[in-house]
């Protein structure tokens, strides 16, 4: 079964009671049992819910995996993976990482005795140098957020060996363009709020693995901590995922055209998009991914305030947090998605005040290009 067929059929058989073609929203918190301990596999919806079960089967299939655990947000999924660790454990992290992930690691989990080393994970030697006797997990983003750096997943997994779990946040690439488990990763995490849901109308997350033991531990924390999606959010994400392949093809076509346009524009200093031959890891992107995605970032040769003014004057790119919806979005990472990272640290990583990030939607690309061109002409 191929990708688009999996997205539409896995976990989504006709309802056995009514024959409904679409999986119902099982809007219930509890289930009537025939006797104590005798039920149909469902007892309480924090633990298990039929709509969520269908979503988990669908998303596991899209990553060619055995197991998926759905959560109420991408950060809840990230926290569940980090719950695999214990006080004293050490984690190596991509330095160009989502601001919410940095906040969780630095301001929450460090208080519980975990330690983190941030490195340029696009350099396998930097990752290798950071590994130590207490390292239990390597946390990667690729492409990274917001600088679109790439990480050689297979090389990092080879360095980690069998004793260190490699987890990959695959939100930017999606399972349509990248399959980290096939490259050796043990866990894949998505914010399903983004491309998988795809319509900016549901918040969710998922942790996916082929490792039975890791799955059981993640599932235990899913139930114990309780950060699960409600059935309606699970249903919305499942509906969105059905069209993931169609949407990602259009996202990529539009993003590539916009990246090429921006790279040619005299006021633009730099464009970060792995589909451009000028990207320092373009060859890795061609080898590791089947497409380059719909995200890009760029800096302009203008002061910070003019960059922010530019972001606010666009017609079709909404100034907003998040990404991955059918509509185009623009954000100022230093003030928005990565504002929780101290300024000095942001700038050391390359997240300058002049950096803007685009989530390119699926509108007509000519309208998007005209919008950008008009706004640039005003600067």
Catalytic residues: 46, 98, 169, 194
Cβ neighbours of 269 (radius 10 Å):
13
Q: Are strands 187-191 and 205-209 parallel, antiparallel or unpaired?
A: antiparallel
Q: CB of 56 within 8 A of CB of 65?
A: no
**DSSP symbols for 347-375:** HHHT--TTEEEEE--SS-HHHHHHHHHHH
Q: Which helix (H) or strand (E) holds 269?
A: strand 268-272
Whether omega before 247 lies within 30 degrees of 0, making that bond cis, reads no
Q: Which residues touch 340 (CB under 8 Å, ≥6 apart)?
A: 99, 100, 102, 103, 107
**From start to end of 87-153, where are the E strands?**
90-94, 115-119, 135-141
Angle subtended by helix axes 365-377 and 304-313, to nearest 10: 140
Nearest to 315 by CA among 258, 373, 379, 251: 373
Terminal Cα-to-Cα distance of the chain (whole angstroms): 50
Q: CB of 298 within 8 A of CB of 356?
A: yes
Name all contacts of 334-342 with Cβ < 8 Å and 24+ positions apart. Answer: 335/308, 337/98, 337/99, 337/100, 337/145, 337/146, 338/98, 338/99, 338/102, 338/146, 339/99, 340/99, 340/100, 340/102, 340/103, 340/107, 341/99, 341/102, 341/103
Please provide residue 186's backbone torsions phi and psi, each rounded to the nearest 5 degrees.
Answer: -95, -30
DSSP 3-state of 40: coil
Rounded to whole angstroms, the Cα distance separating 90 from 327 reads 39
Q: What is the DSSP letter of 294?
A: S
Nearest to 104 by CA among 73, 147, 66: 73
């Amino acid at each position: 079964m191929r990708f688009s067929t999996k997205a539409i059929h896995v976990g989504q058989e006709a309802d056995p009671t009514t024959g409904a073609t679409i999986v119902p929203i099982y809007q219930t918190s509890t289930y009537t049992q025939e006797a104590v301990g005798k039920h149909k596999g469902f007892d309480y919806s924090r633990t298990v819910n039929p709509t969520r079960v269908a979503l988990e089967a669908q998303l596991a299939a899209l990553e060619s995996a055995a197991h998926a655990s759905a959560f109420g947000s991408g950060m809840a999924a990230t926290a569940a993976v980090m719950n695999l660790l214990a006080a004293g454990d050490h984690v190596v992290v991509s330095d160009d990482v989502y601001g919410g992930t940095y906040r969780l690691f630095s301001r929450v989990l460090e208080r519980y005795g975990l330690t983190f080393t941030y490195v340029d994970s696009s350099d396998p030697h930097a990752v290798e140098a950071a590994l130590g006797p207490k390292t239990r997990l390597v946390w990667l983003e690729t492409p990274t957020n917001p600088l679109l750096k790439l990480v050689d997943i297979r090389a990092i997994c080879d360095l980690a060996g069998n004793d260190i779990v490699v987890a990959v946040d695959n939100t930017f690439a999606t399972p349509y363009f990248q399959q980290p488990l096939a490259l050796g990763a043990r866990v894949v995490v998505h914010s399903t709020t983004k491309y998988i849901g795809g319509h900016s109308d549901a918040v969710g997350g998922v942790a996916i693995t082929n490792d039975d033991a890791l799955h059981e531990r993640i599932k235990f924390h899913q139930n114990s901590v309780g950060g699960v999606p409600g059935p309606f959010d699970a249903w919305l994400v499942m509906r969105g995922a059905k069209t993931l392949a169609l949407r990602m093809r259009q996202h990529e076509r539009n993003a590539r055209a916009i990246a090429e346009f921006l790279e040619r524009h005299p006021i633009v200093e730099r464009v970060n998009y792995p589909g451009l031959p000028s990207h320092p890891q373009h060859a890795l992107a061609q080898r590791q991914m089947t497409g380059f995605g719909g995200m890009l970032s760029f800096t302009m040769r203008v002061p910070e305030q003019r960059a922010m003014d530019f972001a606010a004057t666009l017609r079709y790119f909404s100034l907003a947090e998040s990404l991955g919806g059918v509509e185009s979005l623009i954000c100022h990472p230093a003030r928005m998605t990565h504002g929780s990272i101290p300024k000095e640290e942001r700038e050391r990583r390359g997240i300058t005040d002049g950096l803007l990030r685009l989530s390119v939607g699926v509108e007509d690309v000519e309208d998007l290009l005209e919008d950008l061109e008009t706004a640039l002409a005003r600067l």
